[in-house]
Chain A
């Protein structure tokens, strides 16, 4: 019994050292730095009450929620189709859909510019059709598009796995009781996928909250939180505020993950 416990402790040691050195210590230091400004601990309150920071929080949370909702909708529709229909090229399509996983945020931002930027495809097309160039790459809309694009693979793989595990008899039973296809989707399929939605939605939300590369590539004046932190830290050397913002951002994201984990009753991290 004690030998077992000793062995377990030894096995946990590498993780303990890593967590201590690269997570706990820097976090503790970050928390301390956040309270080191003129206002002290009240600096944390200040980042929530100062309008500029507060707006940044609201914008980031709304963006992330929107990205999560749209991604879940697209991924569920696509996942249901891909899981239910066998056709030539299906494997290739699934592989293509997971392609964005291979790109860093910078590249996704670059692609958004190529599509919707000043020299972009959409701009050229709308220019030719209406004489007016539609350019939205350098705004929240461009960021939204980029985030949805790179969130889809994370969600679609989880949702497809959940659909595959669904007992086909569930739907057949509902149909035998008189339910048409849409009713079956609403009453049986979507509720059964709820744990997958919670798990992959939380990961999607957390990723969108913290994503930086895409926003940085698109424009420096988009007010999402990671950009605000970057600006405070690099441009204004306002370390205390940057630290406080970081801690609050981390807390919100962690809370979202924890909440979905307790609702789903399974390990959300496994979905990532």
Chain B
């Protein structure tokens, strides 16, 4: 079913300064391709919600900023004229209307004939697999059902752009996972341009074609999930996304000399012939546990957390700070036990200076 147009969207020089002088958003240029799912990711106060609200038309950018839907400039159009679909963390369903009333509200406002309206409502309810809820009151719905109704309501008007503001944050973990998969499938199937705000990195990884990591009103990095995860552009992104270990030591003969041993670096870096203090990063899953004798680095188990499929180890003595690595779940570790680590040089991450 073709509910949508694949509308490209562009923000040009959109900053936001609030009345009290606080800068919520530094001037931002951002292009979103038609049909793309773009995730705005960052801690609270990073400007991701402000960006979404500027796209929606709920906030005006500072003078000079422009919002474009396709070729048309919509900077001065209020939200009700932008034809966007919006989904909120609090669901924001109208309690004085039943499910069908909520889903059909946008069509009623557009004065669609009754029959057409009913057909479209049934169509969207069917798509969201909630046809049987049509005549329920909102307070008779579970959280997951509410968010499905909210999605149906946003999609019923066939919006040019779908805007989602932390839509899964209010749900419990299992439901969040399930709805995330559903939303992902829905967005792919509809091919609608979607902007999705979240502070949850796994949500961002799973849903985004591209992720915009934001920090204190600035873009820290824009890129596909893999690039964000494996090639963070700076320390903020490296530390915000997933768990990252920092190794700081002396570079000598192509190896990084650390308290727990000497770690071989990749050829190109080793060949630099450079010496002196340097740092590399690695993800917990990049380290392989091996016998101490065969290991590049040796440390001691400070604590071991059994997570079922794997064991998360916090190690002392490898680097100046503790290091977190992952081991297969089958093997048991005792506190204080010596373990050896090897890390493939290609799994080491160097931040640009």
Contacts and interface: CB of A to CB of B under 8 A. Distances in A.
B41 to A, nearest CB: 21
Interface string A195-228: 0000000000000000000000000000000000
A172 interface: yes
A188 interface: yes
Interface stretch (B92-100, B194-202, B307-315): B92-100
B109 A178 contact: yes
A101 interface: no
Contacts, number: 65
The residue in B84, B90, B92, B153 that gathers the most chain A C-beta atoms within 10 A of its C-beta is: B92
A175 interface: yes
Nearest to B56: A176
B238 to A, nearest CB: 34
Interface in A183-199: 183, 187-188, 191-192, 194
A192 B163 CA distance: 25
A191 to B, nearest CB: 4
A187 B94 contact: yes
A12 interface: no
B58 A174 contact: no
A172 B94 contact: no
Contacts of B154: 176-177
B349 to A, nearest CB: 39
A176 B80 contact: yes
Contact of B94 (A174, A175, A180, A183): A174
Given A183-B109, A187-B94, A188-B94, A175 B80 contact: yes
B86 A173 contact: yes
Given A177-B109, A178-B83, A183-B109, A172 B88 contact: yes
A172 B105 contact: no
A176 B84 contact: yes
A175 B58 CA distance: 9
Interface in B88-120: 88-90, 92-96, 105-106, 109-110
Interface in A139-169: 167, 169
B86 A178 contact: no
Contacts of B93: 173
A239 to B, nearest CB: 49
A177 to B, nearest CB: 3
A179 interface: yes
Contacts of A177: 80, 105-106, 109, 153-154, 157
A173 B84 CA distance: 10
Interface string A61-83: 00000000000000000000000
Interface residues on A, range: 10 to 19
A178 B92 contact: no
B78 A178 contact: no
Contacts of A234: none
Contacts of A187: 94, 105
A178 B80 contact: yes
Given A176-B86, A179-B80, A170 B109 contact: no
B85 to A, nearest CB: 7
B32 interface: no
B79 interface: yes
A174 B110 CA distance: 12
Interface string B253-270: 000000000000000000
A74 B96 CA distance: 23
A175 B78 CA distance: 9
Given A169-B92, A188-B94, A176 B109 contact: no
Contacts of A188: 94, 96
A225 to B, nearest CB: 35
A192 B105 contact: no
Contacts of B83: 178
A172 B92 contact: yes
A170 B97 CA distance: 12
Given A176-B85, A177-B109, A179-B109, A191 B92 contact: no
A169 B52 CA distance: 14
A167 B90 contact: yes
Contacts of B84: 176
Interface in B312-331: none
Contacts of B96: 188, 191-192, 194
Interface of B: 56, 58, 78-86, 88-90, 92-96, 105-106, 109-110, 150, 153-154, 157, 163
23 contacts: A169-B89, A169-B90, A169-B92, A170-B94, A172-B56, A172-B58, A172-B79, A173-B92, A174-B94, A174-B105, A176-B80, A176-B85, A178-B81, A178-B83, A178-B109, A178-B157, A179-B105, A180-B80, A183-B109, A187-B94, A188-B94, A192-B95, A192-B96
List 9 tightest A-B contacts by C-beta distance, closest first. A177-B106, A169-B92, A191-B96, A176-B86, A173-B92, A169-B88, A178-B109, A175-B80, A179-B109
Given A172-B88, A176-B80, 12 more contacts: A172-B58, A175-B79, A176-B85, A177-B153, A178-B106, A178-B109, A178-B110, A179-B105, A180-B80, A191-B96, A192-B95, A192-B96
